[in-house]
Each structure stands twice: as structure tokens, then as C-alpha cells.
């Protein structure tokens, strides 16, 4: 058998980093809410026009913090998707490092607001101030008239490469929170200097590691932002994140014969969907809340020879381990169950299994290809990039770490040390919410990268601390049925303007209970559906025979 590997392609890195703009997306579409900033060919409704003659390094350097060294400033002409802007690039010194690069985007017609962009995965991509927000539906903030900031957080390598961490706790801190902080400070200073005007509102947005970045910033630097869009956050990095990936690697690769081929993933996916789709009252190819799906995988057991239409006993055991809480020998749950969600076909192979079977060692055990310091972008499946990068290289600082040696009883302290640099577990949000800051969280119910139950757990912790009523005044969580990681999903309504909803909340003081979202296929909107503030759910309330693909026929109601 040939050694088939998964190599990260450029487009995958782009998808992970959510660094690309979404051409042609207007701020007006897909919204059940009004939005504060109207986007048109002439720019935002409320705008200030810059003196573009000031887009020079000598002029702007005079406003930059002393740790910030500008390398270029240039006017970028308008394109079909982006307005004219001044792009400022530079480096920022952090303790022990001069490697951090950043970029600030200064639109000529400015809406007087700032959006700090964040990166997914291990960050490490070139800064891109014209990039998307990672929110799966909001237009690129620069295109909407915002000044923007972006940074690689101090290292290069891209979204899947954690190798920078070995012997560099300083770079882990920069990745953890400091890289974004120094970029926010530099960007704000450059914005105020360029426009000779104060910033009226600042927002921090991101998904995945970007979601973690928003939370940790709110916890450590509570005065910087007025609002946060937090997508599918990897907030418990690396401890719980590493455990969740270890959990799935144990399920699929502990024993010979456990691995599922893409054909068997489809079998499982179809069977789960068939069993649970209608539980929410609508057979629409989406399981609204997969916690309520009690699918028995033993119904798929092979009765005769193994084939793509059944699962073997080792495969059934693997699905059961994957979809059960993982406990250590003391009985503590260290990783909650992965939900069977009926759209495994959209994400399980890429994130957890790989498209090709793992090599089998001489002892009969599967030995999936794992990343190495020399080859950090090659592995059996994405899960190994994150288990190795976060647990082995960040937690243990060991370039030769081996995933099977991780000890669930003894080794958590190794991760706790790095948790102190990167985790956003704190629920002490008072310093930021006391000045009026708001949070919109979102997470796909079918996310097979980061467990949606983790976001529910954080929300429950916040409610426990502040009470439901107080929490409602500053935080709303939108669970997206059928959505994969940050975006995607076979028929999920994965595109929603969370930034627009946050802006409206800040403008009016009225919290969003419903954000209308779309599924777009081949450029055509095939379904709209409200996303409802958790724990509310969307239920069909239209007239008999009305379209179930039209958000107008749904209401957000308490789940029954
Ligand atoms: Ca359904």
C-alpha cells in the first residue's frame, strides 16, 4: 500500500484563516435586521474622507507607538469588491522577537469605525487588512468602510503549523493574545493620525482561533472594543482543544479496523440523518439540535461480508467511543462526546479521518502519518495538526512527542502551563461589559473541528455567574443547525451578517433574538432560515403549504 498523505493546499489554508473577501456580498442581503452601515458604490452612509496625500511612511510613523516600525504605506486603488484605501505595513517588537508583521487598512471614505480581524488555526498567515471577517456572511469590513487591522501574530507557517512554538514561549504568548494587542494599539494610533479624528466604534471579530482571540482579548484588554463577534471559538486552548482532538484520534486510530472510509462516513451520515431529521418537526436534511438524536450505530452492523453498506464491529466501537464522553481513570470527563449530526459527510473525513486508510505497522496497529517539525503541514487528517501543535509542541515543548503516549491521568498539568498563555476560559467579563460591550457568539451544530458543546458550556458558565437576565443584556449565542466549522454544511444556512446584527444592537440597545441566515449554492440562495438566540429554536409557523426554505415562515420559539 502506498503511503497516501494529506498535504495542506493553499486554498485550505485560506479557508482556515478566513482571510479572503467575499466578492459580491452586499451588507443589505440576507438580513432580518436593519444594519447601521449601508454599503454602496459611494461608500458608507456616515463617512469621513481622508487626505490620501498623508498615506506615507514618514507621516504615519510619527503617530505610531515606539515599538512599531512602518515599512510601507501605499494607496491601493479601488477594485470591483474593495474601495480605495491606504495600506500600511510594518513590524512590531514584542519581548524577544521582532518578527511580528501587521497591516492596517485605511479606506479613503471611512465610516469612522475600526474592525480588528483575527486569524484561524495557528495564525501565521500574512496580514491582510482587506480580508473577510470569518463570520460567514458579513462583507469584508474594509469593503464596508471600516478601518481594519491584521497580523500574523508574530510567526509564519500558516493555519496548520504549530512548529513555531518549540522553545519559544514568547511566540506562544504573541500567538495567545499579545500579537493582536500590539496590532490593535498600533492600528488605532495610525487610524487616529491618518484621519485626524477619533474612532467612534471598535469591533473585534473572528472564528475558530479567531473566536478564541476575541474572547481572550475581551478578558485581558477589556477597554479596547465595544463589541465582539465570536465564532466557533477554540477558547480552551490547548487543554480542552487538545483533549478533544486526542479523543477523536483515540476513537479512529487506536485499533486496526476502526478507520472509516469516505464511503462509510456517508453511510453513517445518511443513517443518522434518516433517524433524526424529523425529530425537530421538519424533514429538511438538517438536524436542528443533534444532542437530541439518539441514533444506535449498531443498526449498521454488517450481517455478512464487510462492505460499504455496513460497519464492522471495530468500526461500531470506534463510533461509540467518538460519540461518548471520554473519561480518565478517575471517572472525570476530559472530552465531551462528539455529536452525531447527520452531516458527517461534510467534515468528518477532512478533520478526523483522512481520505485514505492509515498505514498499518508491523505490530498490526495503525500508525497515521503525523506532522513533524521538519514537515509540519503533512498528516493523516487535520486533527493531528492540532493535537501535535497544541499538545505536543506547545504543551510539552517536545519536537519528538508521540500522541499515543499522552496520559489522560497525569499529563494535563503540561497543558495547564500553556493554558495560562492562550486559554480564554475566564467568565469575568465585567470590565468590558460594564462599559457597554456586547458579544455575539455563533457555532455550527455540525462542527466537526471544534465541539459545539464547548460553546454551550462556556455560555452556561457565564449564565451561572451573571444570571440569565444579566447575561442576556450583553451576550447572545446563535447555534447554527447543520453548519460545519465557521461556515459550510451541505444545506446549512451558514451565511449571516453577525457584524450587522452587533452594530444594530450597539446602535439601538435592543439585543438580537433572531438573525436571518442563508444557504447559497452556486451563487443562488436556496434556503433562508432564522438563527435564534440560544436556547430558542426556529420552528415553522407559516401557513400550510408555505415554503420551508423561506425565513419569513419561521419563528424563534422555546424548544419543546
Ligand atoms: Ca430537520
Q: Does 246 lie in the same domain as 228?
A: no
- Residue 219 grid coordinates: 478578558
Ligand 1 centroid–CA 288 distance in Å is 6
Ligand 1 centroid–CA 362 distance in Å is 46
Kindly state whether residue 275 falls inside one of the protein's structural domains.
yes
Write down the pLDDT at residue 45. Answer: 65
Query: Do 383 and 351 touch, CB atoms closer than 8 A?
Result: yes
Q: How far is CA 444 from CA 158, 448, 449, 484, 513, in A?
A: 23, 9, 10, 5, 17
Ligand 1 centroid–CA 279 distance in Å is 6
Q: Does 441 lie in the same domain as 400?
A: no
* Secondary structure of residue 373 in the 3-state scheme: coil
Ligand 1 centroid–CA 319 distance in Å is 22
Gap between the Cα atoms of 376 and 369, Å rounded: 11
Bridge partners of residue 556, in order along the sequence: 538
Query: Do 228 and 206 touch, CB atoms closer than 8 A?
Result: no
At 455, give phi and psi (nearest 5°). -70, -40
At 74, give phi and psi (nearest 5°). -150, 145
Element (H, E) at 164: none
Q: Does 115 lie in the same domain as 22?
A: yes
367-375: long-range contacts, CB 8 A cutoff, minimum separation 24: 368/249, 368/253, 369/3, 369/5, 369/6, 370/403, 371/160, 371/161, 371/163, 372/399, 373/163, 373/166, 373/399
Kindly state whether residue 519 falls inside one of the protein's structural domains.
no
Kindly state whether residue 417 falls inside one of the protein's structural domains.
no
Q: Does 175 lie in the same domain as 245?
A: no
pTM of the model as a whole? 0.92
As to burial, measured by CB atoms within 10 angstroms (0-12 exposed, 13-18 middle, 19+ buried), residue 163 is buried
Q: Does 225 lie in the same domain as 244?
A: no
Q: Does 482 lie in the same domain as 351?
A: no
Q: Does 247 lie in the same domain as 230?
A: no
Q: Does 225 lie in the same domain as 186?
A: yes
Ligand 1 centroid–CA 443 distance in Å is 18
Write down the pLDDT at residue 531. Answer: 98
Kindly state whether residue 518 falls inside one of the protein's structural domains.
no
Ligand 1 centroid–CA 502 distance in Å is 28
Q: Does 263 lie in the same domain as 125?
A: no
Q: Does 406 lie in the same domain as 361?
A: yes
Ligand 1 centroid–CA 271 distance in Å is 14
Ligand 1 centroid–CA 548 distance in Å is 11
Ligand 1 centroid–CA 205 distance in Å is 30
Ligand 1 centroid–CA 281 distance in Å is 6
Q: Does 122 lie in the same domain as 17?
A: yes
Kindly list the protein residues that place their beta carbon closer than 5 angstroms to ligand 1, a single-atom ion.
277, 280, 282, 284, 286
Kindly state whether residue 166 falls inside one of the protein's structural domains.
yes
Kindly state whether residue 1 falls inside one of the protein's structural domains.
no
Kindly state whether residue 419 falls inside one of the protein's structural domains.
no
Element (H, E) at 242: helix 239-253
* Secondary structure of residue 155 in the 3-state scheme: coil
Ligand 1 centroid–CA 409 distance in Å is 39
Q: Does 263 lie in the same domain as 407?
A: yes
Q: Could you give the number of structural domains in the chain?
A: 3
Last residue of a domain, one of 386, 412, 438: 412
Bridge partners of residue 436, in order along the sequence: none
Ligand 1 centroid–CA 482 distance in Å is 9
Ligand 1 centroid–CA 168 distance in Å is 47
Write down the residue that cell numbers 438536524 correspond to.
287
Ligand 1 centroid–CA 468 distance in Å is 28
Domain residues for the domain of 551 are 524-560
In order along its 560 residues, the chain shows pLDDT tens digits of: 333 333 333 333 333 333 333 333 333 223 222 223 334 444 566 799 999 999 999 999 999 999 999 999 999 999 999 999 999 999 999 999 999 999 999 999 999 999 999 999 999 999 999 998 887 788 899 999 999 999 999 999 999 999 999 999 999 999 999 999 999 999 999 999 999 999 999 999 999 999 999 999 999 999 999 999 999 999 999 989 999 999 999 999 999 999 999 999 999 999 999 999 999 999 999 999 999 999 999 999 999 999 999 999 999 999 999 999 999 999 999 999 999 999 999 999 999 999 999 999 999 999 999 999 999 999 999 999 999 999 999 999 999 999 999 999 999 888 999 999 999 999 999 999 999 999 999 999 999 999 999 999 999 999 999 999 999 999 999 999 999 999 999 999 999 999 999 999 999 999 999 999 999 999 999 999 999 999 999 999 999 999 999 999 999 999 97
Ligand 1 centroid–CA 524 distance in Å is 22
Kindly state whether residue 517 falls inside one of the protein's structural domains.
no
Which CATH number goes with the domain that contains 200? 3.40.50.1820
Ligand 1 centroid–CA 551 distance in Å is 15
Ligand 1 centroid–CA 278 distance in Å is 5
Amino acid at each position: 500500500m502506498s503511503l497516501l498523505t494529506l498535504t495542506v493546499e493553499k486554498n485550505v489554508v485560506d479557508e482556515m484563516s478566513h482571510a479572503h473577501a467575499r466578492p459580491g456580498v452586499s451588507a443589505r442581503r440576507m438580513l432580518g435586521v436593519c444594519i447601521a452601515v449601508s454599503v454602496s458604490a459611494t461608500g458608507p452612509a456616515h463617512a469621513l474622507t481622508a487626505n490620501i496625500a498623508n498615506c506615507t511612511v514618514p507621516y504615519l510613523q510619527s503617530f505610531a507607538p515606539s515599538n512599531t516600525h512602518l515599512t510601507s504605506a501605499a494607496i491601493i486603488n479601488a477594485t470591483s469588491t474593495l474601495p480605495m484605501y491606504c495600506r500600511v505595513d510594518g513590524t512590531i517588537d514584542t519581548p524577544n522577537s521582532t518578527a511580528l508583521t501587521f497591516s492596517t487598512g485605511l479606506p479613503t471614505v471611512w465610516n469612522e469605525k475600526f474592525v480588528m480581524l483575527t486569524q484561524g488555526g495557528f495564525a501565521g498567515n500574512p496580514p491582510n487588512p482587506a480580508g473577510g471577517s470569518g463570520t460567514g456572511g458579513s462583507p469584508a469590513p474594509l469593503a464596508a468602510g471600516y478601518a481594519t487591522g491584521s497580523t500574523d501574530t508574530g510567526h509564519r507557517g500558516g493555519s496548520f503549523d504549530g512548529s513555531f512554538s518549540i522553545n519559544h514561549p514568547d511566540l506562544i504568548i504573541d500567538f495567545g493574545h499579545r500579537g493582536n494587542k500590539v496590532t490593535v494599539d498600533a492600528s488605532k494610533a495610525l487610524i487616529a493620525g491618518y484621519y485626524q479624528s477619533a474612532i467612534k466604534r471598535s469591533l473585534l471579530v473572528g472564528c475558530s482561533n479567531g473566536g478564541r482571540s476575541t474572547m481572550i482579548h475581551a478578558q485581558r484588554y477589556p477597554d479596547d472594543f465595544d463589541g465582539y463577534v465570536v465564532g466557533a471559538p477554540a477558547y480552551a486552548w490547548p487543554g480542552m482543544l487538545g483533549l478533544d482532538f486526542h479523543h477523536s484520534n483515540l476513537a479512529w486510530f487506536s485499533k486496526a479496523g476502526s478507520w472509516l472510509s469516505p464511503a462509510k462516513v456517508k453511510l453513517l451520515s445518511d443513517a443518522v440523518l434518516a433517524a433524526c431529521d424529523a425529530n425537530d418537526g421538519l424533514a429538511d436534511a438538517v438536524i436542528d439540535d443533534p444532542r437530541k438524536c439518539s441514533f444506535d450505530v449498531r443498526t449498521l452492523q454488517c450481517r455478512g461480508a464487510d462492505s460499504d453498506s455496513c460497519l464492522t464491529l471495530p468500526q461500531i466501537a470506534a463510533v461509540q467511543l467518538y460519540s461518548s464522553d471520554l473519561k480518565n481513570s478517575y471517572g472525570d470527563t476530559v472530552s465531551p462526546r462528539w455529536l452525531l449530526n447527520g452531516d458527517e459527510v461534510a467534515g468528518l473525513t477532512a478533520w478526523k479521518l483522512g481520505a485514505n486508510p492509515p498505514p498499518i505497522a508491523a505490530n498490526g496497529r495503525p500508525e497515521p502519518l503525523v506532522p513533524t517539525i521538519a514537515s509540519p503541514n503533512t498528516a493523516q487528517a487535520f486533527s493531528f495538526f492540532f493535537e501535535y501543535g497544541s499538545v505536543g509542541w506547545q504543551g510539552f515543548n517536545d519536537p519528538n512527542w508521540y500522541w499515543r503516549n499522552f496520559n489522560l491521568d497525569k499529563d494535563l498539568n503540561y497543558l495547564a502551563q500553556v493554558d495560562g498563555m492562550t486559554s480564554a476560559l475566564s467568565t469575568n467579563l465585567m470590565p468590558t461589559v460594564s462599559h457597554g460591550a456586547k458579544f455575539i457568539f455563533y457555532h455550527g451544530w455540525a462542527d466537526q473541528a471544534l465541539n459545539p458543546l464547548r460553546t454551550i458550556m462556556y455560555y452556561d458558565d457565564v449564565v451561572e455567574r451573571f444570571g440569565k437576565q444579566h447575561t442576556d443584556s450583553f451576550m447572545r449565542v446563535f447555534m447554527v443547525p447543520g453548519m460545519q466549522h465557521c461556515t459550510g454544511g451541505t444545506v446549512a444556512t451558514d451565511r449571516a451578517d453577525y457584524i450587522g446584527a452587533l452594530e444594530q444592537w450597539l446602535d439601538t440597545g435592543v439585543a438580537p433574538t433572531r438573525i436571518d441566515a442563508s444557504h447559497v449554492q452556486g451563487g443562488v440562495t436556496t434556503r433562508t432560515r432564522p438563527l435564534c438566540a440560544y436556547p430558542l429554536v426556529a420552528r415553522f409557523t407559516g401557513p400550510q403549504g408555505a415554503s420551508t426554505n423561506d425565513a419569513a415562515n419561521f419563528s424563534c420559539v422555546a424548544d419543546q
